[in-house]
Amino acid sequence: MSDIPAEHDRSARLQAQVQAALADQRPLEIVGSDSRSLLGLAPDSDAISVGDHRGVIDYQSDELVIRARAGTRLVDLEHLLASHGQRFAAEIPAPSAESTLGGAIACGWDAPSRSLGVSIRDTVLGCRLINGRGEIVNFGGQVMKNVAGYDLSRLQVGALGTLGVILDVALRLAPLPERQVSRSFAVPADALEDWWLRCRELRPLLSASCYQQGYLHLHLSGRAAALDELLPTLGGEALDFDWAALRDLRSDFFCADQLACLYLPAQTPVEITQGEALLEWEGARVWVRDGNHDALQREAQAAGGFLRVLRGDPVAPAVAAPQWHQRLKDAFDPEGIFNSAIFGSHFEGGGGR
Amino acid sequence: MSAEALLRELRSQLPSERLLTEREQIAPFECDALPVYCARPVAVVLAQSEADVVAVAGACHRHRVPLVTRGAGTGLSAGAKPIEAGVLLVTAAMNRILELNQHAMTARVEPGAVNLQVSRAAAPLGLYYAPDPSSQIACSIGGNVAENAGGVHCLKYGVTVQNVAALRVVTSEGEVLSIGSQCLAQPGYDLLALLHGSEGCLGIITEVTVKLTPLPATTRTLMADFACVRAASDAVSAIVRAGVIPAALEMMDALAISATEAFCHAGYALDAAAILIIDLDGDPREVEAELKLVEGVLGSSGATRVQLAEDDAQRALWWKGRKSAFPAIGRLSPDYYCIDGTVPRHRIGDVLEAIQSFAVDYQLRVANVFHAGDGNLHPIIMFDGREPDALERVEGLAAEILEYCIAVGGSITGEHGVGLEKINQMAVQFSDAEIAQFIAVKEALDPVGLLNPDKQIPELARCQEYRALRHAHE
């Protein structure tokens, strides 16, 4: 734990900043390490920086729970957990070495392993935040099951900091798998549907899939005895596929001016005619670079899904129940001081399905 | 508020056999499975469709009459207790399984569909619905969502919120919302998570798309006997420390063992102070490896005997005993009261010892049968309601236990919900600012305050009153 400063509690200072902004009716944009600005989340008004509010508050490996301050770097947390033979129960993308826990929760951006495992929101046990009244409030806890009151901690996942300043988060953990291996297969696009079905048979040893440029890459993890028996019958090549770069959006593929991803129901293939595609989640998440975002959004919606733009031409948000979004925003942040531009671009609008 | 005008409107929309207003018709609906809290509503509506729900919600909104929704009525926190001046809407008859999708591994069901029926319907496809509350033969999926129900297999597979993909919801104004989808993410706020465990206070669920899980290739069941409760409690943490996440990890103490053994002859050790029942499931090679690990941990944790179920029949019998613990204990005592708190796993031993010492103070007996892997305790207080002060003592003991759970870093409810039962303890677990934030969310989505208005979130004045009383008592 030595590389994570234990005493960097800035909650009092952050609370004072929020209260001052409230008194002046001055909007605030919340920033962690600013590593997610590549997701189009760069601040453009007064910033409140959570980056130095960091450190582990509580970690007892027997409980499979860690509670840490929002500014704690994800890489530091991963090292700490690995030294105890553990990891986050849901893999968490870290776009840079500086990426913070709070930023990951606010973005709610899931890793390639989400489809065969759980999502980040599934692993959130509790969350403390400063609300738009300048109060520090704590919801959920550090125990595995907790239904006291509304689930306002999971609500913060993916809320992009529009409901409050996240101070600390408790997350569920999992044991590190005994073994992890990668196998790659040359697969023509028209054979993918059969492969997705085959992927189902590889559960629970299959942990992620990725299809790019005619190659299907499979990530497998589990007990050594099980993988040793499976691998000879599975075939494929042991290529040096960089799963971490895929997870953290650092692969070359993601360096594009136009970047978006389609979320689709399972087994609902969509033909990508413009730009280049990369498939995750057995085809249920399709990244497209250099595509036409309006056309992609139409494709996604026709298939029962939706589009998220990371870079390039924005599309109108298609949230369900837009009136509930505005009312919830007002319930947490009545003066509208937190990340109001992001609220407008991501949560407002009448594109409800 | 005009109940008479509301009834006139409802009569024009619903046949009389589904709009109950006579005393003897209403009687069966006066309480849920926590019968110490009862009330007779103005009317009971037996909904058959989403259109019925929309009609009732809209009418209640126009006439400003409170509305309580009830599924199968198996809830244990009085969350479905009616309100005297209100309407009780029962969704139990909306029980169809609308669609099973093998490819997407989902089932679209009406809210009254019974939990176990969904798994039975999915079994021919090699799938099942993982969350399995002890009441799964009777409880409804809509109620499971409203309470964010758990079960014995939640340690590995998650509770309801991790196993639902989409909902249709009728708002307090009578509008229909579609939340979530078949996708593995959703745009906007996580309204799905917000609705789970909202106890019918934010909306009325009219359709649920649940995620189904592949039936495991193998399941093996271990039973370990212990001569002391503390050793059994410590073994629970030791199993997790060894890097194993069992599908289920349950514990029963001596009183629960003797009650269930007499009830269904499961083969439990009557001389054990505690037993653990452990399911390991999944890939057969992984299960074999983990079986060895867990057997080793149990041996070094002081288990006096470790047995591996020989076949499915023995597995089923062991689990039958566990799942029938509540009625079994009910045979030993004229009345019983089951509570629900969650604590960090490593504090289970401390909490069980504290419970026994509180029980002595209140001159009551407590049996324990619970989800040890989740740290989710279910102390069952045995009492005789005919004794004049019995219920008061039970409520006093229950409050002590729940507040002790908070003191060791836990929660007043893991899966039964707050309802009416634990509304005072909300004031202990949460500050005024936190309660006020809950109230702000409630007012945002139910501005007139008509949906299950007296449940789950206490008024601030009540919190301050309870804290003052508690302080004076100390």
| CB within 8 Å: A139 and B434 | yes
* Least confident segment among A185-194, B216-225, B318-327: B318-327
Structure tokens belonging to residue B284: 């057969």
Range B248-267 average pLDDT: 95
What CATH number has the domain bearing residue B72? 3.30.43.10
Do both B231 and B323 map to the same domain? Answer: yes
Of A122, A150, A286, A315, which to mutate for an interface test with B (greatest number of B Cβ within 10 Å)? A150
- Distance (Å, rounded) from C-alpha A143 to C-alpha B9? 47
B218 touches A: beta carbon within 8 Å: no
Same domain, B7 and B115: no
Same domain for B254 and B224, yes or no, is yes
Distance CA B197, CA B146 (A): 5
Tokens of B14: 């619903």
Domain A177-247 has CATH 3.30.70: yes
CB nearest to A265's CB, from B181, B282, B412: B181
Give the 3-state secondary structure of B301-353.
CCEEEEEECCCHHHHHHHHHHHHCHHHHHHHHCCEEEECCEECCHHHHHHHHH
**Domain range enclosing B47:** 3-90
The residue out of B327, B361, B376 marking a domain boundary is B327
Q: Are residues B352 and B421 in the same domain?
A: yes
> In this structure, are B120 and B228 located in the same domain?
no
| Greatest pairwise CA separation for chain A in angstroms | 67
* CA–CA min distance B462, chain A (Å): 16
Q: What is the mean pLDDT of residues B222-238?
A: 96
Q: Cα(B445)–Cα(B198) distance, rounded to whole angstroms?
A: 11
Q: Chain A contacts of B443, Cβ < 8 Å?
A: 331
> Are residue B16 and residue B127 in the same domain, yes or no?
no
Please give the helix or strand (H or E) that residue B69 lies within, else none: strand B67-70
**In 3-state terms, what secondary structure has residue A351?**
coil
Q: Do B419 and B342 belong to one domain? A: yes
| Whole-number pLDDT of residue A4 | 65
Residue A264's CB: how many other CB atoms inside 10 A? 26
Q: Are residues B81 and B180 part of one domain?
A: no
3-state secondary structure of A216: strand
Strands (E), chain A: 29-31, 47-49, 56-60, 65-69, 86-88, 124-130, 136-140, 165-175, 179-186, 206-212, 215-222, 259-263, 276-280, 285-289, 306-311
Residue B434, min C-alpha distance to chain A (Å): 5
Residue with tokens 């009136």: A323
* Chain A interface mutation, best of B170, B437, B455, highest count of A Cβ atoms under 10 Å: B437
Give the DSSP H or E segment for B473: helix B460-473
Interface ipTM: 0.96
CATH entry 3.30.465.10 includes domain A11-176+323-346: yes
**pLDDT at residue A1, as a whole number:** 45
Last residue of a domain, one of B34, B67, B90: B90
From first to last of its 353 residues, chain A has per-residue pLDDT tens of 445 666 799 999 999 999 999 999 999 999 887 776 655 555 556 789 999 999 999 999 999 999 999 999 999 999 999 999 999 999 999 999 999 999 999 999 999 999 999 999 999 999 999 999 999 999 999 999 999 999 999 999 999 999 999 999 999 999 999 999 999 999 999 999 999 999 989 999 999 999 999 999 999 999 999 999 999 999 999 999 999 999 999 999 999 999 999 999 988 888 898 999 999 999 999 999 999 999 999 999 999 999 999 999 999 888 989 999 999 999 999 999 999 999 999 998 644 33
Q: What pTM does this model have?
A: 0.96
Q: What is the CATH number of the domain that holds B412?
A: 3.30.70.2740
- Give residue-wise pLDDT tens across range B77-112: 999 999 999 999 999 999 999 999 998 999 999 999
Q: Residue A144 is nearest to which of B214, B374, B431, comparing CB atoms?
A: B374
Domain boundary among B270, B305, B327: B327
Percentages of chain A per state (helix, strand, coil), in multiples of 5: 30, 25, 40
Closest CA to B43 of B74, B93, B85: B85
CA distance B455 to chain A (A): 10
Are the beta carbons of B154 and A321 separated by less than 8 Å? no
Q: Does one domain contain both B194 and B300?
A: no
Chain A nearest-CA distance from B240, in A, is 6
Query: Length of chain B, please?
Result: 474
Measure CB to CB from residue B444 to each of A115, A151, A328 and give the nearest one.
A328
B443 in contact with chain A, both atoms CB, cutoff 8 A: yes
One domain for residues B105 and B185: yes
Angstrom distance (rounded) from CA A148 to CA B269: 36
pLDDT digits (tens, 9 = 90+) for B393-438: 999 999 999 999 999 999 999 999 999 999 999 999 999 999 999 9
- Residue in A121, A137, A346 closest to B434 by CB: A137
Q: What is the CATH number for B193?
A: 3.30.465.10
- The candidate with the shortest Cα–Cα distance to B377, out of B352, B353, B394, is B352
Q: Is A14 helix (H, G, I), strand (E, B) or coil?
A: helix
Contacts of B440 in chain A (CB under 8 A): 331-332
Could A62 and B240 be called an inter-chain contact, meaning their C-beta atoms sit closer than 8 Å? yes
Residues in Cβ contact with B184 at an 8 Å cutoff, skipping those fewer than 6 apart: A110, A114, A115, A119, A263, A281, A284, A285
User: Domains of chain A: which residue ranges?
Assistant: 11-176+323-346, 177-247, 249-315
Could you give the CA distance from residue B385 to residue B387 in angstroms, rounded to a whole number? 5
Report the CATH number that the domain containing residue B299 is assigned in CATH: 3.30.70.2190
Residues B299, B417 share a domain: no
Nearest-CA neighbor of A263 among A212, A303, A320? Answer: A303
For chain A, say whether B417 makes contact (Cβ under 8 Å).
yes
Which of chain A's residues have a Cβ under 8 Å away from the Cβ of B345? 62-63
Domain identity same for B317 and B274: yes
Helix (H, G, I), strand (E, B) or coil at B75: coil
A111 with A93: CB under 8 angstroms?
yes
Domain count, chain B: 4
